[in-house]
Chains A and B, each alone.
Chain A
């Protein structure tokens, strides 16, 4: 009387199917790491590790070649730094505006517009960066001669940086807005009832209460910026330089990978293996960043439950 009427195989099958879905992403990550390791080890059999990790010249095509990865790491950081310097204030500003100031009507228009911006293919943003941001915004506005000047340069780290900034503003704005709107209504009222102005309520209560979500949005944005390829390929150039100067043509790690790992590369060559070595560094960088951010979020989170 109390036994199940059937074995419920369907029920079990669903459970396993769902578990498999969850497993897929874990498996993929593992597979990527494994596929990176082999050629990376092969690379270090040819190129000394100290040259790779401490060298500042990245000239694989020269004879003899030099593989100082810091040069293209700097390229990536250069673009990311200037991109985030633009995207963090603009993104957070939008988020505070949307969650605390905008009327429901304005919100209903602006938020979808932001999401459309998030959906623009990065190749289009990259093209916009070289064909508009660089000649129409950076060149006219950049002070003459500052850091070598921007005039007459076809590619600039700053152009790619601003392009990436535009790309990640919606991530920061939308996620931070959600985080701030998730702060209980009662905290707003509590703060207003103490005679706080709107700006104080937003900055001293709501913003800190939503900090973990805000930090998460920024970290996600940085990860996307570090990994972004098309925009840097199109706008930043392909001349590796160990510099954070925004008005230089540089090369980022991703654009080295994209421009080197083409169809005609021979599988056993140093160039081929270098792509994996750079990929490993990129992977490690994002991993460290994510770990650090999880720590940060745990530490500074203001729990409101």
Chain B
């Protein structure tokens, strides 16, 4: 799983039938990362990440565990601010505006850039109150019932819960809880939804529902999803970024680095880096 960075990456020959046209350019950028590095207590967890993320696209971050996918994702809505030892360096633009600029309010950032977590984390409140939480704390109290219904419909959960909105959210199944968390997120009407392995705790049927949902949500939202399920990345995403752990010469320090970032189809059928090919074909990781 751990790969020592060599001076130069070995060239792989690509079979002609896999040769494809260049990936379509990103039309509108939602994020631009330039040389992003994240450190925990002074130790790098990811380094040298430069990439552009498309608006209203699904972007997948894949890679072996510990390579910094969550760390990178959590930079995008300043969730790392909550970890006292974490530090973000480099330039991160959100619609061209510096996300880490001096006057940026992380609370405002998170209103626009929501997040769904690996383990469903509904609040210990009713289904209704869970979805209404965001609008309420933001002071958007008019038409709350409509907002809640719309969000639950948006998360493909309405039909299953419409008769028990007052019941505690913990009565729902894991998959329903995760869709509730998605509903809770879209009730705030964000611009971007970040998802950190949203299906890793779910059964295949619930996973399928959430994948369908992601494809629908892409009409309205930019989505960045971390997954270590490669089929999932292949099914739902437009672009895929592959990260990998890298060690320094003495093998003391390790950090994640972006190995390849391209259109999903290209990454899975015709990767330009040997390590990506090994990973997506299941040889490593």
Contacts and interface: CB of A to CB of B under 8 A. Distances in A.
Interface stretch (A46-54, A196-204, A244-252): A196-204
Given A103-B84, A189-B117, A305-B170, A194 B188 contact: yes
Interface string B92-111: 00000000000000011011
Given A192-B79, A195-B107, A303-B170, A184 B121 contact: yes
Contact of A194 (B82, B124, B137, B168): B137
Interface in B116-173: 117, 119, 121-125, 133-134, 136-138, 168, 170
A303 B168 CA distance: 9
A231 B149 CA distance: 57
Nearest to B170: A303
Given A195-B110, A303-B124, A303-B168, A186 B138 contact: no
Given A195-B188, A200-B137, A304-B170, A190 B123 contact: yes
A118 interface: no
A196 B121 contact: no
A188 B115 CA distance: 12
A152 B117 CA distance: 63
Contacts of B236: none
A191 interface: yes
Given A189-B121, A303-B170, A194 B79 contact: no
Contacts of A204: 133, 136-137
Interface residues on B, range: 20 to 34
Contact of A186 (B121, B136, B184, B188): B121
Contacts of A209: 123-124
B181 interface: yes
A104 B83 CA distance: 12
Interface residues of A, number: 24
Nearest to B190: A195
Query: Quick one: which of B107, B114, B121, B184 has the most chain A CB within 10 A?
Result: B121
Contacts of B79: 189, 192-193
B120 to A, nearest CB: 9
Contacts of B125: 208, 302
A196 B123 CA distance: 13
Interface in B22-38: none
Q: Which 9 pairs from chain A and chain B are nearest by CB?
A: A195-B111, A302-B124, A186-B121, A193-B115, A194-B134, A190-B121, A304-B124, A195-B110, A200-B137
